[in-house]
Amino acid sequence: MNDLPIDLLCRYIRLDTSNPPGNEHLATVFFEQMLKSEGIDCKTYEAKPGRTSIRAEIKGSGRKQPVIMLHHTDVIAANHDEWSFDPFGGEIIDGYICGRGALDTKSLGIMQLLAMIDIKNQNRTPDCDLIFLATADEESGASYGVDFLLHKYPDDFKAGLLLNEGSYVQSGAVREHLAVMISPGEKGACWLRLKRKGTPGHGSTPHSQNPLEKLTSAVKRLLDSKAEISITPIVRDYFRKIALAQDFLKPYADDGKDETLLQIVRDFSLLDNPHINAMLSNTISLNSLHAGTKINVIPSYAEAEIDTRVLPGQRVDEWVNHIKDQLADEDIQIEFITRGEGNASDYNTESYRLIEKTLEKHYPGSITTPYLMLGTTDSRFFRQKGIPSYGFCPAVVPVEHLKSLHGIDEKIGVDSMLKGTEVYSDIIGKLCIE
């Protein structure tokens, strides 16, 4: 067995890059040592002390445009007490590499590093520049990571293709088939603050201008309003692909019509599944509410924060107007906390097909499908610059393990990591060397 991917991942997990505070320099030093010892040039960028990112490059002939392999080095914080193992222990337990980042996204980072080294060791000039990019601060908005890099050093990140995190090779999602997900797009995070002023007073004498009551009534109207269902191209293709393996989707496999899919969604109450609901509509989640300081005082001000997510292809302004209409309260001011648009890359491309074909070769009998990310990734910044960006990690992960992403007891199978590493190197070899 080749232990290197396993050993490197365990070591990487042991570097505590919880964000906040980040401490991504630990990861940068780790990669710098590895890359330099292989004779690969690299450059480190510091957004502020401790918050560093690293870029390494193997020069190609220029026959094809550069390819960037991206992953983020920071991880979500982990509370030791809730985990059944040390989140930063990097231990192997019962065939799993265990710890924070095992899935999101340190495993992918090691696969990319080894693919880079593999190309270097072939001693052939690739057709394109191959860039390894490990960045800080993905988990809290990227202002010390990709956002900083693309603003400050735009010339270092020109490319014809970006490969980033996305989904996995899921087992248990589509009956007995493995579902290989490649993500060419994601929803936009459009976070809003709703502000309402009112008339203060004594709690013993309630009146009709209590801002907290006004705001909660309006938010209730918004949450009760029916979401509009919309089938975006990625989701259409996703259902087309999985329809080949799911009996209840057979009518859709036969005619491929949107009406048929919508009928099935209704007949089988698929919108009750939060995941499917989020694939088919803009969503709203009320996640914070602030008002009042004392039990007997009517407050003068109230505010709510709502996390809304917008499908690719939909305009944020129209979405916010829709929200305004549903709130139906002229005195509520809406402020953007983030104004993210849904975004998607064209995937009717040679590189997408090549990735798809290679994944199918390694996972015969699987269903390979485009997949709409419901959360955001750093790909959005590259798509904004017109760089096609696809997200995937070619390792098998059981569906029930996906909740450990940002949750507890994150881990990846040793075999999955080994196979994922092999597949990733194969894909990079095919993309970069004819």
Contact by Cβ (8 Å): 102, 412? yes
Site stretch for Zn ion (CB under 5 A), options 103-111, 255-263, 317-325, 379-387: 103-111
Min dist CB 207 to Zn ion, Å, is 48
Site stretch for Zn ion (CB under 5 A), options 98-106, 119-127, 182-190, 378-386: 98-106
> Can you read off the two tokens belonging to residue 411?
């881990």
Q: Where are the alpha helices (DSSP H) in 100-210?
A: 106-121, 146-152
Min dist CB 71 to Zn ion, Å, is 8
d(C-alpha 290, C-alpha 305), whole Å: 9
Site stretch for Zn ion (CB under 5 A), options 99-107, 264-272, 278-286, 366-374: 99-107
d(C-alpha 164, C-alpha 375), whole Å: 14
Min dist CB 324 to Zn ion, Å, is 33
Residue whose CB is less far from Zn ion, 70 or 427? 70
Task: Write out the binding residues for Zn ion, residues 42-81 only, by CB under 5 A.
Answer: none
Min dist CB 194 to Zn ion, Å, is 29
Is the preceding omega at residue 154 within 30 degrees of 0, hence cis? no
Q: What is the four-CA torsion angle of 82, 414, 132, 348, rounded to 10 degrees?
A: -100
Where are the strands (E) in 231-316, listed by range? 283-291, 297-298, 301-310
Residue whose CB is less far from Zn ion, 14 or 406? 406
Number of residues that bind Zn ion (CB under 5 A): 2
Tell me how far CA of residue 25 lies from CA of 29, 52, 106, in angstroms.
Answer: 6, 5, 14
Task: Write out the binding residues for Zn ion, residues 153-192 only, by CB under 5 A.
Answer: none
Counting contacts by CB under 5 A, is residue 104 touching Zn ion?
yes
Min dist CB 377 to Zn ion, Å, is 6
Residue whose CB is less far from Zn ion, 105 or 343? 105
Tell me how far CA of residue 54 lies from CA of 25, 32, 51, 71, 424, in angstroms.
Answer: 9, 8, 10, 10, 20
Give 3-state DSSP helix, strand, coil % of the chain, rounded to 5: 40, 30, 35
Site stretch for Zn ion (CB under 5 A), options 101-109, 147-155, 264-272, 328-336: 101-109
Site stretch for Zn ion (CB under 5 A), options 78-86, 97-105, 187-195, 388-396: 97-105
Min dist CB 329 to Zn ion, Å, is 37
Q: Give the interface with Zn ion as residue ranges (CB under 5 A).
A: 104-105
